[in-house]
Amino acid sequence: MSATILQISFAELCNLERLEHDVIVEIVSHDIVTPIQGELAADWVFEASAVPVIKKAARLANDFEIDWVAVSMMIDLMQQKEALERENAAYRLQLERFIEG
Amino acid sequence: MDFKDYYKILGVEPEADAKAIKTAYRKLARKYHPDVNPEEGAGEKFKEVAEAYAVLKDEKLRAEFDELRKYGGQPGGGFKPPPDWQRSGGFESGGQSSEDFSDFFNSIFGGGGGPAGAGGHTRRPMRGEDAEIELPVFLEETIGDQQRTIEYTIPKMENGQVTQVKKQLKVTIPKGLVDGERIRLKGQGVPSFGGGEAGDLYLHVRLVPHPLFDVQGHNLTITVPLAPWEAALGTKVTLPTLTGKISLTIPPNTQAGKKMRIKGKGLQGKKETGDLYAVFKIVMPADSNEEAQKLWAQLAESAEFDPRADWRSTK
């Protein structure tokens, strides 16, 4: 049986390849992700779902050579788009149930 | 191995200045970056572009490349570095890893072949990559903790060769999961090939569409079909919920589209439990008979109801 974890600590995140301490601090200070625990960076704990967001933010900043404000906007818009797509798909399904049968 | 003309890949002249190279790269990144272009093949194309840029933005690497280009830049012909070529090992990662780059890149700029003492710093063994798999979860499974055996394939090094192996893992799926959430399994990802730690495995939760219920956050919606007379007179229906059946009283004159809330019969959240909403739709019988038609006609004559009364003002 393998333990399932819904969290990841700051130290563990720094241990991930290509993720530097300062990068994570920038990502948090630009509200791209918010730790669920901890005041000081060293005590931060994130939801496991934050990991792909953090990785994506680091990737966008590096690959596009853009600043953190731009990264934050990009991620925000991408997340809004995904949420709208999900909502749209859900409404479509509901509408089908309402019309058909 | 083919010679890669990095200038051609970025679409710039060999004399292009640093600014032109940067502009060309950013335009191509905008087009092919896998985070902004989900199309197949975009990721591969971006890797090529990123490799070209990693070389051409660095003055030293670019000068080395220019030398080589004079020597071996014959299109079509296979490329081999000149016999006296000293691999500089000069690629300093700026957040990138040369592991993603081509054999061509690594044969020229890759580390290890450079003059002794050029590097000097010892590298930490690379941690294995994280892996992610989709985990389809039925709505019924989110109500309590569930045990599940998952199966996935990851690359493994065997006798110096990388092969894909199947792995089985028994995991506990905690209750209260929502669509899109990720579960982390520490050290169950891709093993490190250099003696480092294994990566993590992430399970990406996908709620399986339910034949009856739609999900909005922690709330559920069920569409309840009613016969016209049930909507008119009111009735009692047996309503399925995720945890069993309940009896629901439909009041007389229930409109199509009206919603009723059944508290606490939605999905289990980490803190709170959602509600179930019953939405009514009115369904005509598929076929009718003479007697029924007569009764409808009777109703039509006696009822003073114009469902299109609103249209009268708009001529």
Mind listing the pLDDT tens digit for each residue in B81-127? Answer: 666 666 555 565 544 555 577 777 777 777 544 333 334 445 567 78
What ipTM was assigned to the predicted interfaces of this complex?
0.83
The DSSP code for A9 is E
Tokens matching residue B231: 């909507």
Tell me which residue has tokens 């730690």: B197
Burial of B275 (0-12, 13-18, 19+ CB in 10 A): middle
- Domain map (residue ranges) of chain A: 7-99
- Domain map (residue ranges) of chain B: 6-109, 131-207, 213-302
Using DSSP's 3-state secondary structure scheme, residue B72 falls into helix
Query: C-alpha dihedral over A62, A64, A65, A66, to 10 degrees?
Result: -110
Tokens matching residue B97: 């890893």
- Identical fold for domains B131-207 and B213-302, yes or no, is yes
Using DSSP's 3-state secondary structure scheme, residue A38 falls into coil
Using DSSP's 3-state secondary structure scheme, residue B131 falls into strand
First-to-last alpha carbon distance for chain B, in angstroms, is: 76
A30 min Cα distance to partner chain B (Å): 19
Average pLDDT over residues B173-186: 88
B213-302: CATH number: 2.60.260.20
Using DSSP's 3-state secondary structure scheme, residue B154 falls into strand
Q: Taking the CB of residue B308, how many other CB atoms lie within 10 A of it?
A: 6
- Dihedral pair phi/psi, residue B213, rounded to 5°: -105, 140
pLDDT-derived band at B299 (thresholds 50, 70, 90) equals very high
Determine which helix (DSSP H) or strand (DSSP E) holds B261, and give its type and residue range.
Answer: strand B259-262
Who contacts B62 (Cβ-Cβ below 8 Å, separation ≥6)? Answer: B55, B56
CATH of the structural domain B6-109, one choice from 1.10.540.10, 3.30.565.10, 1.10.287.110, 3.90.420.10: 1.10.287.110
Q: Choosing among A14, A49, A77, A91, which should be mutated to test the B contact, i.e. which has the most B CBs within 10 A?
A: A49
Residue window 42-71, chain A: list those with CB within 8 Å of chain B: 47-49, 51-52, 56, 58-60, 62-65
What is the CATH architecture assignment of A7-99?
A: Orthogonal Bundle (1.10)
| A58-79 per-position pLDDT tens digit | 999 999 999 999 999 999 999 9
> Class for domain B131-207, per CATH?
mainly beta
Average pLDDT over residues B66-92: 65
Q: Taking the CB of residue B311, how many other CB atoms lie within 10 A of it?
A: 9
pLDDT for position B115? 38
A13 min Cα distance to partner chain B (Å): 11
